[in-house]
Amino acid sequence: MASFFQKQQQVAALDPRLGGLLASAGLYNLKSLIKAIRSCKTLAEERSLIQKESAAIRTSFKQADPFSLYNNISKLLYIHMLGYPAHFGQIECLKLVATPRFIDKRLGYTGIMLLLDENTEVLTLVTNGLKNDMEHSNMYVVGLALCTFANIASEEMSRDLCNEVERLMGSSNSYVRRKAALCAMRIVRKVPDLLERFIERTKILLTDKNHGVLLCGVTLAIEICQQDDEALDQFRQDVPLLVRHLKALVATGYSPEHDVSGITDPFLQVKILRLLRLLGRNDPAASEAMNDVLAQVATNTEASKNVGNSILYETVLTILEIEAENGLRVMAINILGKFLGNRDNNIRYVALNTLNKVVTMDTNAVQRHRNIIIDCLRDGDISIRRRALELSYALINESNVRILIRELLAFLEVSDNEFKLGLTTQICLAAEKFAPNRRWHIDTVLRVLKVAGNYVREEVLSAFIRLVCHTPELQLYTTQRLFAALHRDFSQESLTLASVWVIGEFGEVLVGGGSFEDEDLVRQVQPKEIVDLLSNVLDSPYANSHIRQWVLTSMAKLHVRLAGDSASQNLITQLLHRYETTVDVELQQRSVEFSALLGRSDLRDGVLEPMPPPEIKATVIGTVSEKRAVGSTRRDKDALLDLMGDDPGSSAANGSTSVNGRGAGNAQTTQDLLADIFGGMGDETVTSPTPANGSAQQSSKSSVQDIMGLFGNDSAPASAPAASGNAFAGLSSPPPQSSSNQSGLDGLDMLGLGSPSSAAPSRPAAASPPPAAAAPPSSTAKAYTAYDKNGLKITLTPSVNPGRTEIVNITAKFEATAGQQVQGVNFQAAVPKSQKLQMLAISNANVSPSSQETQQMRVMTPKGAQVRLRLRIGFTTASGQTVQDQVDFADFPVLS
pLDDT digits (tens, 9 = 90+) for 315-369: 999 999 999 888 899 999 999 999 998 888 999 999 999 999 888 888 888 998 9
Worst-scoring range by mean pLDDT, 115-119, 148-152, 468-472, 746-750? Answer: 746-750
Q: How far is CA 458 from the centre of its chain?
A: 18
Using pLDDT thresholds of 50, 70 and 90, give the confidence band for residue 20. Answer: very low
Worst-scoring range by mean pLDDT, 18-27, 218-227, 253-262, 326-335? Answer: 18-27
| Cα torsion angle, 739, 743, 745, 751, sign | positive
Using pLDDT thresholds of 50, 70 and 90, give the confidence band for residue 547. Answer: very high
Worst-scoring range by mean pLDDT, 76-80, 544-548, 659-663? Answer: 659-663
Condensed to tens digits (0 to 9), the pLDDT of residues 616-629 reads 776 655 434 333 33
Task: Indicate the pTM of the whole model.
Answer: 0.60
Section 746-750 average pLDDT: 38
Query: Is the pLDDT confidence value at 512 over 80?
Result: no
Pairwise CA distance, residues 488 & 491, whole Å:
9
| Orientation of helix 493-512 relative to helix 527-539, angle to 10° | 170
What pLDDT shows up at residue 746? 39
Domains and CATH numbers, the chain: 784-889 (2.60.40.1230)
Of 269, 345, 281, give the one whose Cα is nearest residue 313.
Answer: 269
Query: Is the pLDDT confidence value at 674 over 50?
Result: no
Using pLDDT thresholds of 50, 70 and 90, give the confidence band for residue 514. Answer: low
Query: Is the pLDDT confidence value at 133 over 60?
Result: yes
Q: Which helix (H) or strand (E) holds 740?
A: strand 737-741
Pairwise CA distance, residues 176 & 146, whole Å:
8
Pairwise CA distance, residues 857 & 774, whole Å:
10
Worst-scoring range by mean pLDDT, 168-177, 430-439, 682-691? Answer: 682-691
What pLDDT shows up at residue 18? 39
Worst-scoring range by mean pLDDT, 5-14, 164-173, 551-560? Answer: 5-14
Name, in order, each residue with C-beta under 8 angstroms of 358's C-beta and a sequence gap of 6 or more: 320, 333, 366
Query: Is the pLDDT confidence value at 758 over 70?
Result: no
One-letter amino acid of 722: A
Query: Is the pLDDT confidence value at 440 over 90?
Result: yes
| Cα torsion angle, 18, 24, 30, 36, sign | positive
Higher-pLDDT residue of 642 and 835 is 835
Of 261, 247, 179, 251, give the one whose Cα is nearest residue 212.
Answer: 179
What pLDDT shows up at residue 312? 94
- Mean pLDDT for all residues in the chain: 79
What pLDDT shows up at residue 513? 65
What pLDDT shows up at residue 519? 53
What pLDDT shows up at residue 63? 82
Worst-scoring range by mean pLDDT, 21-25, 96-100, 199-203, 598-602? Answer: 21-25
Name, in order, each residue with C-beta under 8 angstroms of 534's C-beta and a sequence gap of 6 or more: 500, 503, 551, 554, 555, 558, 575
Distances (CA, A) of 502 to 439, 521, 748: 16, 15, 11
Using pLDDT thresholds of 50, 70 and 90, give the confidence band for residue 522. Answer: low
| Cα torsion angle, 56, 61, 63, 65, sign | positive
Of 172, 167, 91, give the one whose Cα is nearest residue 134.
Answer: 167
How many Cα atoms are found within 13 Å in the side-chain-facing hemisphere of 168?
A: 29
Pairwise CA distance, residues 513 & 606, whole Å:
26
SS3 state at 695: coil
Per-residue buried b or exposed e for 423-459, using 16+ beta carbons within 10 Å of the residue's own CB: bbbbbbbbbbebbeeeeebbbbbbbbbbbbbbbbbbb
Worst-scoring range by mean pLDDT, 745-754, 809-818, 868-877? Answer: 745-754
Pairwise CA distance, residues 208 & 597, whole Å:
93
Share of the chain above pLDDT 70, in %: 77
Residue ranges of the alpha helices (H) in 435-564?
A: 438-452, 458-469, 475-488, 493-512, 527-539, 545-561
Cβ proximity of 180 and 171 under 8 Å: yes
Query: Is the pLDDT confidence value at 768 over 70?
Result: no
Condensed to tens digits (0 to 9), the pLDDT of residues 355-385 reads 998 888 888 889 989 999 999 998 889 999 9
What pLDDT shows up at residue 866? 86
What pLDDT shows up at residue 388? 93
Cβ proximity of 798 and 858 under 8 Å: no
Worst-scoring range by mean pLDDT, 182-186, 523-527, 576-580, 845-849? Answer: 523-527
What pLDDT shows up at residue 518? 54
- What 715-719 contacts at long range (C-beta under 8 Å, 24+ apart), as own/partner pairs, is 715/662, 715/688, 716/662, 716/685, 716/686, 716/687, 716/688, 716/755, 717/585, 717/586, 717/589, 717/662, 717/686, 717/754, 717/755, 717/757, 718/585, 718/757, 719/585, 719/757, 719/759
Condensed to tens digits (0 to 9), the pLDDT of residues 260-280 reads 888 899 999 999 999 999 999
Using pLDDT thresholds of 50, 70 and 90, give the confidence band for residue 504. Answer: very high
Cβ proximity of 551 and 538 under 8 Å: yes
SS (H, E, C) 134-178: HCCCCHHHHHHHHHHHHHHCCHHHHHHHHHHHHHHCCCCCHHHHH
One-letter amino acid of 795: T
What pLDDT shows up at residue 735? 55
| Cα torsion angle, 317, 320, 323, 325, sign | positive
Query: Is the pLDDT confidence value at 650 over 50?
Result: no
- What 283-292 contacts at long range (C-beta under 8 Å, 24+ apart), as own/partner pairs, is 283/236, 283/322, 283/323, 284/323, 285/236, 286/236, 286/239, 286/322, 287/322, 287/323, 287/324, 288/323, 289/239, 289/240, 289/243, 290/239, 290/242, 290/243, 290/318, 290/322, 291/324, 291/325, 291/328, 292/243
Cβ proximity of 464 and 470 under 8 Å: no
Section 610-614 average pLDDT: 86
Cβ proximity of 67 and 76 under 8 Å: no
Query: Is the pLDDT confidence value at 186 over 90?
Result: yes
Share of the chain above pLDDT 90, in %: 49
Of 881, 835, 880, give the one whose Cα is nearest residue 860.
Answer: 835
Cβ proximity of 165 and 201 under 8 Å: no
Using pLDDT thresholds of 50, 70 and 90, give the confidence band for residue 771. Answer: very low
Using pLDDT thresholds of 50, 70 and 90, give the confidence band for residue 520. Answer: low
What pLDDT shows up at residue 460? 92
Give the count of beta carbons closer than 10 Å to the beta carbon of residue 193.
Answer: 11
Residue-level length of the chain? 896
Of 620, 621, 619, 627, give the one whose Cα is nearest residue 419.
Answer: 627
Query: Is the pLDDT confidence value at 762 over 50?
Result: no
Cβ proximity of 797 and 775 under 8 Å: no
Using pLDDT thresholds of 50, 70 and 90, give the confidence band for residue 9. Answer: very low
Pairwise CA distance, residues 847 & 290, whole Å:
84
What pLDDT shows up at residue 704? 38
Section 35-49 average pLDDT: 93
Query: Is the pLDDT confidence value at 642 over 50?
Result: no
Per-residue buried b or exposed e for 17-42, using 16+ beta carbons within 10 Å of the residue's own CB: eebeebeebbbeebebbeebbeeeee
What pLDDT shows up at residue 618? 67
Section 197-208 average pLDDT: 93
Phi, psi (rounded to 5 degrees) for 707: -70, -30
Distances (CA, A) of 441 to 214, 266, 482, 719: 60, 52, 14, 37
How many Cα atoms are found within 13 Å in the side-chain-facing hemisphere of 61?
A: 21
